[in-house]
Amino acid sequence: MAVRNLKDGNKKPWLCECYPTGRSGRRIRKRFATKGEALAFENHTMNEADKKPWLGNKVDNRTLFELITTWYLLHGKNLKSGKQARRRLEIICENLNNPKASRLTSNDIAYYRAGRLSKKGTAEEIAKSTQNYDIRILRSMFNELTRLNEWKHANPVESIKPLKIAERELNFLNKQQIADLLESVALKPNGVDIKNVILICLMTGARIREAINLKGSQLSTYKITFTETKGQKNRTVPISQSFYNKIYTGENGKLFSCSYEMIHNRIKTSITDLPKGQATHVLRHTFSTHFMMNGGNILVLQQILGHSDIKQTMTYAHFSPSHLNDAVLFNPMNNMP
């Protein structure tokens, strides 16, 4: 206790004992006649230390788990993916044996990542994209705590570069596959709802969850407004009059009763050759690919998909009929006999 009564019969029984620069720094002890004087001295001493940065930062003895808890309380809980991020951070913390945060170094992080990479080819293999996500949220946590003046030390993740990941081929459905998918789901339980959700994704580029969670209140004349999106920004996409009349009920509540798992399983069952991890996004990829193949504008596609960065949308640029056609016109073999 910083201020306590020694009860030793001394005229100044109240002892103030404090460490202005942390437990490992200089200790100050002084006695006072009253508790108020002792508390005032303690406040004065600690404030003086705060005003003198050349004395060094106070030692921060918080563990990594305590920092994660603080981050979630002050910032993470306000994020759409905050709970998921906290869980990933807690897994990292557990794997690192919950060190004192001030002692965590970039070397520790690098060796931790190297250890996870060594499990490649085993049941414990962790994808590079997951590793990059973990590093990204850990770096972001320290940056946010620094911004909030909750962290005075360097960011131990700042110098860690993301792992390079080879671009995957984005699979999309051709028109025959689309027809086969729609025919197969129509025969299943909840077939009408599942088919309409798939059609919304194929007509608007919506994510599956965005389509499943649609409410009647999000429909306006021949338009759908997607809310609670991944990018936290609403976007409105036109639809045909005939399809609008098909899904419009006049009610404001939820339009569809099917679940994400139901649609995901239907897609995997109907399209057996999809690469791992692409069943969730194949409808969005299909919309985007056909949009560009049919001569759509890449900037318009960016707005429809709700991408904040055009780099994300450029993934589909090569599907444009005129993409890099100059390579044919201006290569050295053109017009040669």
- For tokens 């807690």, the residue is 90
Residue among 30, 35, 281, 285 flagged as catalytic: 281
Residue among 86, 112, 195, 316 flagged as catalytic: 316
CA distances to 74, 215, 244, 309, 313 from 229, rounded to whole Å, are 22, 14, 21, 15, 17
Read off φ and ψ for residue 220, nearest 5 degrees.
Answer: -125, 180
Closest CA to 69 of 98, 106, 35: 98
Residue among 113, 207, 235, 266 flagged as catalytic: 207
Q: Which residues contact 285 (CB under 8 A, 6 or more apart)?
A: 170, 171, 172, 278
**Beta-carbon neighbour count of residue 169 at 10 Å?**
8
Is 268 designated active site? no
Is 316 designated active site? yes
Is 276 designated active site? no
Beta sheet of 235-238, edge-to-edge order: 219-220, 223-226, 235-238
Is 281 designated active site? yes
Residue among 12, 58, 136, 307 flagged as catalytic: 307
Angle between helices 282-293 and 191-204 (to 10 degrees): 40
Residue among 86, 88, 266, 284 flagged as catalytic: 284
Residue among 230, 248, 260, 285 flagged as catalytic: 230
What are the catalytic residues? 207, 230, 281, 284, 307, 316
